[in-house]
Structure 1
Amino acid sequence: MTPQDLLQLLSQRQVRRLRVIENLLRGRKTVSTLYWGQRYGLLYLLGLDKALQRGALDQVAQTLVTQRLAAWTQDEQPQLRLTPAGHTQQQATTYYHPQTALTWPRVDLKLVTQRLFLAVQVVSQYAHHNVQYYPLMTDLATQQAVRQWFHQIKSTALAQMVLTALTHSLTQLPELTAMVTTAGLSGYQQPGQTTAQLARTYQESAWEIYLRRVDGVIQIATDARKRDHPLHPLLAPAWQTPVTRSAQATLAAVTTTSLSLDQVAQQRHIKPSTVREHLLEAAIMLPVTAVPYDRLLPQTTRQDLLAALPGALDDWEYMALTPELQARYDFFTFRLLAIWCGKQGEMA
């Protein structure tokens, strides 16, 4: 990621923690990372660069500071805010904003990418009656899934069916994004190009090219959710709930029973703190209708806390509450209210 890529992830009005951005990219799903990822509008970054090393963005951020496009703020973690010059440059820069980004946390990107790219290669070679080729390097599970799909759907019309489906998806994207997606695919006498190669060709950063490619892959996966799509059996399993199975089980127990949170913990043989973490994870990642806010946040609780908190959500601090309110309401309730309020803004 270059300084110009990071510039697009920062804000002039909102101080942003560099570690949150880093942990999102690395796929770290702590409640704190998810919460601030939601507040920054950057949850789509979750797991996009799992190989990123801790601290890898420090020098990138420092370059922006040196260029006076961003400034550090005092905190226990490195925090950045765009300067007026940085905000001006951000607004003046033509940078790609993926159109499918809101759905990215719900897709296993590695699974869908590997299956799609191998399937396209297999179909292309099959259409040209070529059996002497080197298949793309993928894991065994991907190879087996594509092999099973191919033998189930194989026909003389398969290549045209896949071409028609891919064309339908790609025409919904900006032209350059469609071109980048297509150029990354391998087929008969057509080696797929890397993000680095495409970055040189189109004079964009490798990260921006990567965002375009992910956008294209997810658009195809979205269309493949329809049962009559030729890639449906292959790509549909890539869609997943954005919360862990354990968090799903906790949410179900809270939603379908009248047990207290401590009783749910006993029933599930987990710590009470884990129950609360599960519920916060679900609240962040799922639609507002999926969480029983009326039970967890009664109207009187909302009124008491909102009357004592500042208007700007990012300025809320639990320790700034009076000792009386802290004694009545724990941090879980405070954070859940912040998530709920944030969701109201999304729905507005």
Structure 2
Amino acid sequence: MLTPTTAQALREAGLPAAAVERIVREALTEDLGPELRDVTSLATIPEAQTDTADVVARADGVVAGLAVLAAVFELVGAVGAGGRTVEVVLRAGDGAVVARGDVLATVTGPTRLLLTAERTALNLLSRMSGVATHTRAWADALAGTKAMVLDTRKTTPGLRLLEKYAVRAGGGTNKRMGLYDVAMIKDNHKLAAGGIAAAYRRVRTAFPEVPVQVEVTTVAEAVEAVEAGADFLLCDNMSPETLREVVEVVGDRAELEATGGLTLEVAARYAATGVDYLSVGALTHSSPILDIALDLRPTGAGGAVPDPLPRG
């Protein structure tokens, strides 16, 4: 079971504790196999041995997912090690800029559990922190403009909840969570329905309470979409010059999102057009991990938390 502290931290982050627990249990089971065992730790470490380990940044970046890391260590005993527990002390906060050598968390408990949980905990924390670090680079590139960076549905299957949280921790904004909460009329929908206006009417009739977004590729399509009633347009693969024209024509009748092949090198140019959002699938499909490690303290180290790596 999760401790009340970790469950509360997840809720405050907008992460349903039950959903995170399910993700963590599945990840641990994947690593422990059908017999729920870590054969190396079982063979080499006495059952009664306890130790303390530090979770340490191996690179500069933005951290995200510390409560998820705590959940892994808290649940590992329940999943595969006889109900024994690990104490977790977090030493940073999600969204914080961290440097190489910073201690992000300290875990104390049965050594077998610490090493059994290690890879699952680091996989999730490193992945989420990598997404947050990449997102922060985009947020910084858009600073001083009204444009915000948006994520997409191009997420790792099974990890969308965590990756979209990491985007928020890095200073980005979430778009729709899935196909159920926002209607997005794209080119294939327009073709199948017989045009933008027809597709928009059908969505509005079937799901009057659901927000509707329309993908457009030309100025003429943008005009058609807003005249049909759309108040959010995805401007797909437009040049900055075309986007400026769309902004002028649409005015305040709809929010505008630039999407399609955007990079950090051109972010400022697109933001300067006056669009409200830049949509970047790479936040979740191409972010490298942030290198983070678990360092077991030497027996009897105790005392103050060491600085395992020199900075710089």
TM normalised by structure 1 equals 0.28
Please identify which structure carries the higher strand content. 2
Please identify which structure carries the higher helix content. 1
TM normalised by structure 2 equals 0.31
